[in-house]
Chains A and B, each alone.
Chain A
Amino acid sequence: MNPNDPNHLIAESELRDALQIHRPEAARFAQVVHQRVAELRSEVATRASASEQKRLDWLRTAASVIPLPLLAKGAGGALGKGVGTGGPWAAKVVGWLASGPLILLLAAGGFLLGFQRIRSAQRRSASAEPGDPSNHQRVTEAWWKASGAFHIAICVAAVLLMLIGHTVPALIVFLVYGIAIVALVTRLGQQGLIDRTLLAMGIAQALMVWAGLISVVAKASRGTFLLDQSLAAAIMCLGACVVALCGCVTAKLRLQRIFSVVAVIPLLILVAIYGSSALFPMTHQDVRTYVESTDIDRFGAATWQRWALAAGWLRDTGQPFDPAQPRASFEEALAGDKNPYVMASAYRGGLVDLADAKKILAAHTERAALLSDPSRRGRWLSSIEQRAAEIYSLEQLGLLTPEDRAVLADRLIATINHAATSEYGTLKEVLVATQLLHAIDRADAMVQVRNRVHAMIVDFQYLETQRLFNRAGGFRAYRKSDSSDESATAVAVELMQLHGVPNEVDTLALRSFLRPKNTDARNRQGAILRVVALWRFESLPDAPSLTWWDYLRREHVIGMAILAVLLSVTAVVGFPSAQMTPEASEADQQDK
């Protein structure tokens, strides 16, 4: 056939031959599809129960905010029977009504309204005839009689709810507090009985009480927050400082003025304590100091492993540190029992030189030779964390042939597969195996296990929010553990750096777990692990970045604290102090 013929066609056999190389293997294809179907089925089941739990969570939130009779008509059925079985629309509406941003928005509206009422009371007070001071107590008592019990009952109920449930009921306390301030100020303003000093003292005390309470509640917090909830207490203490200074510095009596200034000092200390997570955040220098020092008892293998996570971060980001002290500890361990965990940690921290590698290997020469024995190809390494140092040493001394590497890579992949499927497999084992794959230049083999590792990471994330004093969002050390662990979380984040972030990981909850706390000074190691994990996670290209909306959704308690403080300051500042009024001046003159 003439190839120049315009009707000439390329032969079909040629086309088939050209594409043959890309042809999928039929049996394997079908097997993978069936396997994927099985995985999807279990994923769907897990997701369904998680989403049901989530829905119940927001319904519980709603139940603590919305009056129960309303729930009984709408989503009450859903609350009782479980969402999805009845009235999902009503449940959704109630959930939205109780959601953080909406409450914050309503509270902001309430704040503006309250602000307006206080301003008008202030104007009325300025133009009104000064009332009889003896009336002051009578009016206050009348107000307490009328609505005090109601306010106290709501606050007590909210506090109880806070201690057994979410921090959202704290919002009710803030609302009640705001309403009480506005009502009292308006009533006293109408009677011309407002005195800035008196008002400031009362409000400052109330703010201090609530700050203390919120700080306790923050410790029991079970929600997903992005900032330390003790910041709300810090803001309230700061508000108490400002209110005390505004109201009391211009007080009539010198003793009152001195007292107010002195009272501000412990309040500022409280601000520093509660707000330490924002005022004194953990820095890179802190991490470096931790890695360089051996002051924190670095005697056990577990402590060395935590040290390796921090040192690994410094090495990965190219931050130099002085290894003198950890090196001395390592040499001690090398001369002693050569604890394999310590040796592997030292490798991660870059403390091992060629001479050390020889010493490590000398202790296990025969055992190390079996690592890459071809007859053991495909068999998983039963104690990978204990054998890691041997593999690193073999690699460092250049004793691995290409065949050895291939056998080792197979065994490491088998180890990852075993850890990912075994009931007792840990993230740490997977991380060590993955790092060893990198060390022996076989990172390409990771592709084979990526999906399994992703599934394992998702499985290990602990998202249970129904337990007090238990921060959800971190990762479990073991599959069956019922709490998050700081070391395991740092390990999981390192794994995500190597294998990518699975779509199913709740990154907001993870950030919430890693957020700094005001108690970090008492748990230095834990704080270092969390901050290193947070920095590592934020450096990942596939980690979603936070938006203002995320903060608005999660930080309603802090938002409400700010509004309450603003309202308090507004209430105090607008009224004249007793010292400034003509009556006070006259009284002063008469005293003199």
Chain B
Amino acid sequence: MELDEAIDRFRGPLVGLVASWGVPFHDAIEIAEDSFADAHINRDACRGDLSDPSTYGRWLRGVARNHFRNWLRSKKRRQRRVVYVEPSNLEGLEAPFDTESDVRVEQLREAIDRLPEKQRCVVLMHYLEQTSVKDVALLLSVTPKAVEGRLYQARKSLARMLSVVFKDSDHEASEK
């Protein structure tokens, strides 16, 4: 598989996959970029046939996993360097929510973070760039049916979580 074709096909799901391991998105993009480059440079080391998308997906996932481990190690090293930031500076950076829809989007993001790992993984992989279920399945080495099942469960869980959140906020508002 050519590099550009692979990037087009797996960019979104790979970033989503790495993000589902707990990596902030800006770092996840960087890890995904490095993974594509590494997978391409070291393609001779892969024993399978890389023209087969399922083999490429598995290979790319393995490379990304290695980069993620390196990132974890370097993160630990970075944590040893304590940087103190004035709390007032952080408050200044925080943008206020303007509308109700902003609040709902933010709560949805928080709800995604609280999903079980497998569900969170497919949600991030599929909806980040509206990647096809088939490509997500290729990268995860599972069947498309399994991905669809997890997506269904995830959407159901998210709806439930959000309805609970909104019920609580309505209750608080009526008490006031």
Chain A residues within 8 Å of B, Cβ to Cβ = 3-4, 6-10, 12, 14-19, 22-24, 26, 29-30, 32-34, 36-37, 39-41, 44, 500, 541-542
Contacts and interface: CB of A to CB of B under 8 A. Distances in A.
Given A8-B159, A22-B25, A33-B7, A40 B108 contact: no
B7 A7 contact: no
Given A17-B105, A18-B108, A19-B128, A44 B12 contact: no
A10 B166 CA distance: 14
Contacts of A542: 74, 77, 80
Contact of B159 (A10, A19, A24): A10
A475 B4 CA distance: 38
Given A8-B159, A29-B29, A40 B152 contact: no
Contact of B41 (A4, A12, A22, A41): A41
B109 interface: yes
Contact of B7 (A6, A16, A30, A44): A30
Contacts of A14: 104-105, 108
A18 B128 contact: no
A22 B19 contact: yes
A30 B29 contact: no
Interface of A is mostly: helix
B81 A541 contact: yes
Given A15-B155, A19-B112, 12 more contacts: A9-B155, A9-B159, A10-B108, A16-B130, A29-B29, A33-B36, A33-B37, A36-B33, A37-B41, A40-B37, A40-B41, A541-B77
A301 to B, nearest CB: 33
Given A30-B7, A33-B3, A33-B33, A18 B41 contact: no
8 contacts: A9-B155, A10-B158, A15-B108, A15-B127, A22-B128, A24-B32, A36-B34, A542-B80
Contacts of A39: 37
Contact of A18 (B40, B109, B152): B109
Contacts of B124: 19
A32 B33 CA distance: 7
Contacts of B29: 24, 29
B49 interface: no
Interface of B: 3-4, 7-8, 11-12, 15, 19, 25, 29, 32-34, 36-38, 40-41, 74, 77-78, 80-81, 104-105, 108-109, 112, 123-124, 127-130, 152, 155-156, 158-160, 162-163, 166
Contacts of A24: 11-12, 15, 29, 32, 129
Contact of B129 (A4, A9, A23): A23
Contacts of B162: 3, 10
A19 B129 CA distance: 8
Contact of A4 (B19, B156, B163): B163
A38 B36 CA distance: 12
A502 to B, nearest CB: 11
B112 A18 contact: yes
A29 B127 contact: no
A40 B40 CA distance: 10
Given A33-B7, A33-B36, A9 B156 contact: yes
B41 A8 contact: no
A340 to B, nearest CB: 31
Nearest to A41: B41
B33 A18 contact: no
Contacts of A4: 163
Given A17-B105, A19-B128, A37-B40, A26 B33 contact: no
B163 A3 contact: yes
A434 to B, nearest CB: 15
Contacts of A8: 156, 159-160, 163
Nearest to B166: A3
Contacts of B159: 3, 8-10
Contacts of A6: 156, 160
A259 B104 CA distance: 96
Q: What are the 9 closest A-B residue pairs judged by CB atoms, nearest first?
A: A36-B37, A9-B155, A541-B80, A22-B25, A10-B158, A15-B127, A18-B108, A3-B163, A10-B159
Contacts of B7: 29-30, 33
A14 B34 CA distance: 30
A490 B166 CA distance: 59
Nearest to B153: A9
A43 to B, nearest CB: 9
A39 B37 CA distance: 9
Nearest to B81: A541
A41 B40 CA distance: 10
Contact of A29 (B33, B77, B104): B33
A37 B108 contact: no
A123 to B, nearest CB: 58
Nearest to A33: B36
Nearest to A1: B159
A372 B19 CA distance: 39
Nearest to A443: B83
Nearest to B156: A9
Contacts of A12: 127, 155
Contact of B12 (A15, A23, A33, A36): A23
A40 B77 contact: no
Contacts of B129: 23-24
A19 B15 contact: no
Contact of B37 (A23, A37, A500): A37
Contacts of A33: 3, 7, 33, 36-37, 40
Contacts of A34: 3
Nearest to B130: A16
A128 to B, nearest CB: 66
Contacts of B41: 37, 40-41, 44
A6 B15 CA distance: 31
A18 B37 contact: no
A40 B3 CA distance: 15
A462 B155 CA distance: 57
A387 B12 CA distance: 45
B11 A29 contact: yes
For B19, B37, B108, which residue has the most chain A Cβ atoms within 10 angstroms?
A: B37
A375 B34 CA distance: 35
A18 B15 contact: no
A40 B11 contact: no
A32 B35 CA distance: 11
Contacts of A26: 8, 11
Contacts of B160: 6, 8
